[in-house]
Structure 1
């Protein structure tokens, strides 16, 4: 009887422990791996913007937005939107900007700012049905490599194509992703659906050789474009691009051949 009772106690305890471990909520920190890029402040709140690099650069920028009161209390129930604006000599324009979901979103800057031509960012947000806004200048620097292309296609549409991943390329078949937008006006950009982005990676310093097992990018359910990028050695790679529309017409970019060393649109990686 004592043995049975002891066995039951051990079983009950182990079941309790396993259930407790299984049911314990996983605590995640949305700011892990991120660095504060800037803070926008008005009379009521501080809007902190975080990125992986701690700055904004040309190309794709994944951004976490954190709203705090001026006393430093984090506000978790804010509904947030944003409007980036580039102020140039005699004109202004915007850039592709995602919606903000669970405080996360992205901006695609086509150009860097300077002392005379600069970016501002307006954050509109609502807390408990009360609307707030803040606008300030943000610094956007030039990426060290070519990671965004703005071009006019043969269909006379202006496109913005930006590299998302890989951010840390390896000697392997890498997952590669991009975002593709079409400019409707100087302030309106829409995601392009149903295209194909052809890739041809080349090592220009090594006889312009390519690599096997690359997969062209097609659109996923989240509207980004996904494919496979094969990198067979470390060094500088030029990722030649061709943009193909839904009718399989190439609207921009050229194939690499014996007489053509590269496309007019491309990205760069070096590792």
Structure 2
């Protein structure tokens, strides 16, 4: 009988140990809300710091998704109620202007404020970009002027077009997706803005952008099942389909058409005209 009691006690202890081990294994691992992003800037003040993150290793001409976090040094916590607003500013030798950008929102993660900026030009030795950031911290309104560097894309490919249409309007068209093109039918996305003033760049709605990808190094052949870029009012992004049939260099020939179907920029690709004056470039 004593032997049975001893065996029973050992079984109870073993079950308890396994149960505790399982509980330990089930403990969730906390994942940083900026996991996979690069911290490209950190601006430190006496009582707080501002951190800027991007998928890229730096800001580039074109479409840039940006995440911002504000850390309160006193509590050592990231702020969730800062309500930030921003304004990108390019300071040139004779004038200054802004750039197309969205509002900042922390709807996905309370401590991370997200938005995007479309930079039209790169910084240089005498002309530079600043991001003017306004936010609240512990009931105090704060304004920061953060100098940032904007470079040309490292791959040298054209994914941003700044041009004047046949309607005498200045437009900014920028490639968004696919970030990692594949031999497949890819989701194609772009954003389109117009320059209303040096400080105002409203989204252009309900235009159409035709899509004709070609491989100049392979007889300028095209691909099947592409879909033109159409405006999505919910996301304020133009969506289409990009068919890529092989790896290599592709020129995505485009035409911008207004709501009446008038061509504002770009041409059809023909035997006599191998490329449009409006295009994106990709290579993979």
Question: TM-score scaled to structure 2, two decimals?
Answer: 0.83
Question: TM-score scaled to structure 1, two decimals?
Answer: 0.87
d(CA) in 2 for partners of 1:249 and 1:210?
A: 24
d(CA) in 1 for partners of 2:44 and 2:209?
A: 40
DSSP-derived class of the 1:191 partner: coil
- The residue that corresponds to 1:255 in the other structure is 268
d(CA) in 2 for partners of 1:244 and 1:27?
A: 48
Runs of 5+ unmatched residues, structure 1: 1-23
DSSP-derived class of the 2:171 partner: strand
- Return the match for 1:142 from 152, 160, 163: 152
d(CA) in 1 for partners of 2:189 and 2:114?
A: 18
d(CA) in 2 for partners of 1:183 and 1:78?
A: 29
What is the aligned length? 248
User: Does 2:210 correspond to 1:166?
Assistant: no
d(CA) in 2 for partners of 1:162 and 1:191?
A: 12
TM-fit CA distance, 1:76: 1.7
1:136-215 paired onto structure 2 within 5 Å: 136-143=146-153, 144=155, 145-215=157-227
- Which deviates further from its counterpart, 227-236 or 31-40? 31-40
8 Å contact kept, 1:194–1:219 = yes
TM-fit CA distance, 1:128: 4.9
- The residue that corresponds to 1:223 in the other structure is 236
1:1-271 paired onto structure 2 within 5 Å: 29-70=32-73, 72-102=76-106, 103-143=113-153, 144=155, 145-220=157-232, 221-271=234-284
TM-fit CA distance, 1:188: 0.8
DSSP-derived class of the 2:196 partner: strand
TM-fit CA distance, 1:210: 0.5
Runs of 5+ unmatched residues, structure 2: 1-26, 107-112
- What RMSD over aligned residues (CA atoms) do the two structures have, in Å? 1.7
